């Protein structure tokens, strides 16, 4: 059975619940709830497993905090013997408008410390990622306070409307591969 590691980035702890930086956790929670799955605490995070059509999805929410995400990713890739081509990392993106998302098979971290740590730990920037826009119309603001801030009601409602689509992206990535998924979902809101 082919295995895939789907990593949603975020920070553990009540103070980070439903903050902009925890979009990755929220997507995986949504996926789990809609497939009657539950997470269990394991080394370096919480995981749940989902099987479909001969494929095994391993959903991981690292508990290493955002800036040390690479440690959890590397550990679970090795533990489950998963090739980096079968890794998908889901994160927030301050450079994309709210609710827009972009799927890429490589690229820069774009100033995202979680992606930077994964890149440094895996020693490559060639890994698949799904980046979800959290940007607002405000240009002059403290970026750290903004990403660690709670979603307001409008942001929350808008983001939850795109979560079914992000779950489609996860399934497409596992079933059809990254190239097909990029062709099907990039540039669509």
Catalytic residue positions, numbered: 21
State the DSSP string of the chain: -EEEEEEE----SGGGTTBGGGHHHHHHHHHHHHTT---EEETTEEEEEEEETTEEEEEEEESS-GGGHHHHHHHHHHHTT--GGGEEEEEEEEEEETT-EEEESS---TT-HHHHHHHHHHT-S-SEEEEEEEE-S--SS-HHHHHTSBPPHHHHHHHHHHHHHHHHHHHHHHHH-HHHHHHHHTT--
Q: Coil, helix or strand for 87?
A: strand
Here the tokens at position 120 are 């440094």
CA angle 174, 114, 141 (to 5 degrees): 120
Identify the bridge partners of residue 2 per DSSP, sorted by sequence position: 55
């Amino acid at each position: 059975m082919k295995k895939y590691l789907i990593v949603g980035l975020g920070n553990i702890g009540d103070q980070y619940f439903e903050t902009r930086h925890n979009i990755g956790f929220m997507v995986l929670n949504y996926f789990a709830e809609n497939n009657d799955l539950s997470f269990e605490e394991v080394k370096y995070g919480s995981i749940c497993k989902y099987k479909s059509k001969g494929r095994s999805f391993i959903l991981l929410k690292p508990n290493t905090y955002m800036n040390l995400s690479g440690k959890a990713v590397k550990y679970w890739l090795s533990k489950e013997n998963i090739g980096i081509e079968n890794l998908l990392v889901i994160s927030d993106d301050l450079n994309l408008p709210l609710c827009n998302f972009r799927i890429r098979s490589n690229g820069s971290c774009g100033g995202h410390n979680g992606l930077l740590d994964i890149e440094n730990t895996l020693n490559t920037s060639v890994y698949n990622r799904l980046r979800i826009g959290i940007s607002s119309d405000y240009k002059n603001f403290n970026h750290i306070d903004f990403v660690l801030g709670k979603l307001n009601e409008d942001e929350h409602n808008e983001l939850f409307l795109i979560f079914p689509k992000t779950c489609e992206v996860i399934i497409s990535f596992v079933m059809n591969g990254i190239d097909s998924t990029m062709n099907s979902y990039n540039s669509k809101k």
